[in-house]
C-alpha cells in the first residue's frame, strides 16, 4: 500500500489536473498523481521536466525505453516497470525485446550501441563509483559526446525518481504482478510470456 496519503482528485491543484490529464484517467493520475499532488508546485515542475526531456533528446526512443526499463529493474520500481510508452513501442520495443533485457550482453536483437548504453545504465543504477575512463570510452565508441551527456541525464532521472517511487511503494493501481510484496524480485519482462504492462502516450507535460 502506498506509504503516503493520496490526495483525492477534487482536492488537486487545478493546473496540475490539467497538465497531467488527470480528469481523463491518465496513468500519472492512477499510479503516482495522488501522492505527488500533495506537493503540486513540485509535481508540476516534474511533469514539465519529463516533457522537456522527452522533447529535447536526440537519442532513439527505442534506446531510451530500453534503458528506462533496465534501470527500473535495478530500482525495483514497480510503476516504472509496468509502464510502456507508445513512442518506444513504435520504435521497436515489444515484449519479446523487453525479455532480452534479462541478459543484455547476450541479447541477439540489441545493437552494440544499445548494449553499451545498458552497461552504463547498469553501473549508474548499481555502482556509479565504478564508472571509469574505460566505461566512458565504451560509450564513446558508439555515441557522440553530446549523446553521452543526454544518455547520462536520462539515466540520472530514471534512477532518482524510480527510487522515490519504490520508496513510497506507489503500486496500488498496478497490474497484480507488479504489486508483489517488497523484497520479492519483480521484472519488467513477464516469464509467462503475457503482456500485462500499462501502455501510455507521451509523458505528461510534453503535450
Residue 69's CATH number: 1.20.1290.10
Q: pLDDT: is 143 or 51 the higher one?
A: 143
Domain tally, the chain: 1
Is residue 1 situated within a structural domain? no
Is residue 53 situated within a structural domain? yes
pLDDT-derived band at 202, boundaries 50, 70, 90: low
Mean pLDDT of 91-116: 97
What digits encode the pLDDT tens for the residues 15-28?
A: 999 998 888 877 77
Predicted pLDDT at 193: 66
Domain span at 22:
9-200
Mean pLDDT of 54-83: 95
- Whole-angstrom distance, CA of residue 187 vs CA of residue 19: 30
CA–chain centroid gap for 178, Å, is: 14
What digits encode the pLDDT tens for the residues 43-56?
A: 999 989 988 888 89
Specify the 3-state DSSP secondary structure of 92: coil
Q: pLDDT: is 170 or 119 the higher one?
A: 119
Is residue 35 situated within a structural domain? yes
What digits encode the pLDDT tens for the residues 156-192?
A: 999 999 999 999 988 888 888 998 777 789 999 987 7
pLDDT-derived band at 2, boundaries 50, 70, 90: confident
Q: Is the pLDDT of residue 103 over 60?
A: yes
Is residue 205 situated within a structural domain? no
Is residue 157 situated within a structural domain? yes
Is residue 207 situated within a structural domain? no
Report percent pLDDT > 70 for the chain. 96
SS3 readout for 40-73: HHHHHHHHHHHHHHHHHCCCCHHHHHHHHHHHHH
- Whole-angstrom distance, CA of residue 100 vs CA of residue 204: 28
- Whole-angstrom distance, CA of residue 59 vs CA of residue 35: 31
Mean pLDDT of 53-73: 95
Is residue 2 situated within a structural domain? no
Please classify residue 108 by burial: count the beta carbons closer than 10 Å to its beta carbon, then call 0-12 exposed, 13-18 middle and 19+ buried: exposed
pLDDT-derived band at 207, boundaries 50, 70, 90: low
Is residue 155 situated within a structural domain? yes
- Whole-angstrom distance, CA of residue 204 vs CA of residue 181: 28
Instruction: List alpha helices for the chain, DSSP H.
Output: 14-20, 27, 34-36, 40-56, 61-75, 78-82, 86-90, 95-99, 112-126, 133-140, 145-167
Least confident of 87-91, 141-145, 174-178: 174-178
Task: Check: CB of residue 66 under 8 Å from CB of residue 180.
Answer: no
Against a cut of 0.85, is the pTM above it? yes
Report the chain's mean pLDDT, rounded to a whole number: 91
Amino acid at each position: 500500500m502506498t506509504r503516503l496519503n493520496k490526495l483525492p482528485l477534487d482536492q488537486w491543484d487545478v493546473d496540475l489536473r490539467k497538465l497531467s490529464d488527470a480528469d481523463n484517467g491518465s496513468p500519472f493520475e492512477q499510479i503516482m498523481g495522488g501522492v505527488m499532488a500533495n506537493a503540486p508546485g513540485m509535481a508540476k515542475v516534474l511533469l514539465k521536466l519529463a516533457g522537456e526531456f522527452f522533447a529535447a533528446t536526440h537519442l532513439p526512443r527505442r534506446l531510451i525505453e530500453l534503458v528506462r526499463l533496465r534501470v527500473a529493474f535495478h530500482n525495483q520500481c514497480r510503476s516504472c516497470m509496468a509502464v510502456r510508452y507508445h513512442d518506444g513501442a513504435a520504435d521497436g520495443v515489444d515484449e519479446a525485446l523487453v525479455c532480452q533485457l534479462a541478459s543484455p550482453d547476450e541479447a541477439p536483437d540489441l545493437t552494440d550501441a544499445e548494449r553499451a548504453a545498458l552497461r552504463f545504465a547498469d553501473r549508474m543504477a548499481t555502482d556509479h563509483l565504478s564508472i571509469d575512463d574505460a566505461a566512458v570510452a565504451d560509450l564513446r565508441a558508439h555515441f557522440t559526446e553530446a549523446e553521452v551527456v543526454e544518455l547520462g541525464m536520462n539515466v540520472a532521472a530514471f534512477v532518482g525518481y524510480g527510487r522515490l517511487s519504490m520508496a513510497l511503494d506507489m503500486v496500488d493501481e498496478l497490474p497484480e504482478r507488479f504489486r508483489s510484496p517488497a523484497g520479492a524480485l519483480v521484472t519488467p519482462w513477464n516469464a509467462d510470456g503475457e503482456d500485462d504492462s500499462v501502455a501510455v502516450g507521451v509523458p505528461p507535460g510534453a503535450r
